[in-house]
Amino acid sequence: MHKPLANKQIVLGITAGIAAYKSAEFLRRLQDLGATVHVAMTPAACQFMTPTTFQALSGRPVFTDTIDTQLQNSMAHINLSRQADAIIVAPASADFMAKLTHGLADDILSTLCLARNCPLIIAPAMNREMWANAATQRNVKQLQADGVHLWGPGYGSQACGEIGSGRMLEPAQLLAESLAFFTPKIMQGLRVLVTAGPTEEAIDPVRVISNKSSGKTGYAIAQAAQRAGAQVQLVSGPTALAQPYGVDFTAVTSARDMYAAVMQRAPQADIFISVAAVADWYIKNASDQKIKKHVVNQLPQLDFAENPDILAQVASLDHGPWCVGFAAETEGLTEYAQAKRKRKNIDLLVGNLVQKVLGQNQTELILYSDAGAEHLAKGDKQEVAPLLINKIMQYYPGRTQEK
């Protein structure tokens, strides 16, 4: 499994909130990604979840007391915060946020936060009125001014039965935030437009012709660009995948829909990464009604027309984005890829052999440019996507004009 958080030491702080049960799952997922997690709990948090649970899950002692005579120097607050790459307090109660705002240190977790020399992140969790309260909002402003990072809160139903803002983010969202937090921001300030998935061209309301594409590569690239700090717009054909976190998502069906969505967004983008497997043709005489097999006494005659080449159109825009294309071929990859790159007038084209990667989790990419071919390490699509983003930034000539 891909371990993007290997070598990261994280202190997970638990305060008194019912959302603390979700932190157990968050801890496990952090570990899956390679992080070492140390848990510190406030005394009141121990009424919601037991230290034993976190000890068993993390495989390490859980810190609940400021004074611990078992430790050599009883300075867990110093030792832990010096090793850590970040402290993440999830859930962070209203009371704990107030404490942080004023620099109080009357339990192990608040002491740890005060003594830290690493980033501090909090994931608030409280009732909507507590969150909206002027005192809490004042504390939020002060904490942000002090450089504390806030993840969430989310909006939705609350344990108290009310609905509103104040829910802790879900473990998957906290994990997505963690990955983004630790990714170098090499795309900070850039607007990146990505297409992904197949397109579907209607024969009639229930039948389509399409390309085989799971969307996995495009989604992974969109997510990796977002984690690298870009503002990402993903225009996607039909896939079975969950929308990437923190990415502006537009669902389309046909190539002509995709073309319209892309052309509307392309002028504002700095980089366009065209991963979609766009159908080359649409059916001009598509039927409005389902074609009945037993009524037509001959096979349906499909009248094909060419779809717009979205990538070539974007590449020909006057003040358009810098373009990266993809080529999936079954043979003669180098030859076809380089020819396609020149025909579409783009600097960088990413090639792969269809039979090796289609629908798979693994991928093997080759970058074609004027300089020739460059192989990217083979691996999981999730793992290769950030490598490709790094490479794209090596090739990217920079913004040519203000948009």
Catalytically active residues, by annotation: 160
322 binds ligand C5P, rule: CB under 6 A: no
Q: Judged by CB under 6 A, which of 233, 274, 338, 363 binds ligand C5P?
A: 274
> Judged by CB, which is closer to ligand C5P: 38, or 340?
340
311 binds ligand C5P, rule: CB under 6 A: yes
Report the nearest approach of ligand C5P to the CB of residue 310 (Å): 3
Stretch that binds ligand C5P, among 25-33, 56-64, 321-329, 391-399 (CB under 6 A): 321-329
95 binds ligand C5P, rule: CB under 6 A: no
307 binds ligand C5P, rule: CB under 6 A: yes
261 binds ligand C5P, rule: CB under 6 A: no
255 binds ligand C5P, rule: CB under 6 A: yes
Contact letters for ligand C5P, residues 164-203 (x by CB under 6 A): -------------------------------x--------
What is the spatial distance between Cα 42 and Cα 379, in angstroms, rounded to a whole number?
A: 41
Report the nearest approach of ligand C5P to the CB of residue 78 (Å): 53
> Judged by CB, which is closer to ligand C5P: 5, or 310?
310
What is the spatial distance between Cα 82 and Cα 387, in angstroms, rounded to a whole number?
A: 30
Phi, psi angle pair for 72, to nearest 5°: -60, -45
**Neighbouring C-beta atoms of residue 69, cutoff 10 Å:** 7
Report the nearest approach of ligand C5P to the CB of residue 55 (Å): 50
Stretch that binds ligand C5P, among 87-95, 158-166, 180-188, 303-311 (CB under 6 A): 303-311
278 binds ligand C5P, rule: CB under 6 A: yes
Select from 149, 188, 151 the least CA-distant residue to 396. Answer: 188
> Judged by CB, which is closer to ligand C5P: 233, or 307?
307
341 binds ligand C5P, rule: CB under 6 A: no
Contact letters for ligand C5P, residues 35-74 (x by CB under 6 A): ----------------------------------------
Stretch that binds ligand C5P, among 30-38, 57-65, 157-165, 324-332 (CB under 6 A): 324-332
> Residue written as tokens 């043979």?
331
**Structure token digits, residue 32:** 């899956």
Stretch that binds ligand C5P, among 78-86, 146-154, 308-316, 367-375 (CB under 6 A): 308-316
- By the criterion CB under 6 A, which residues form the site for ligand C5P? 195, 255, 274, 276, 278, 307, 309-311, 325-327, 340
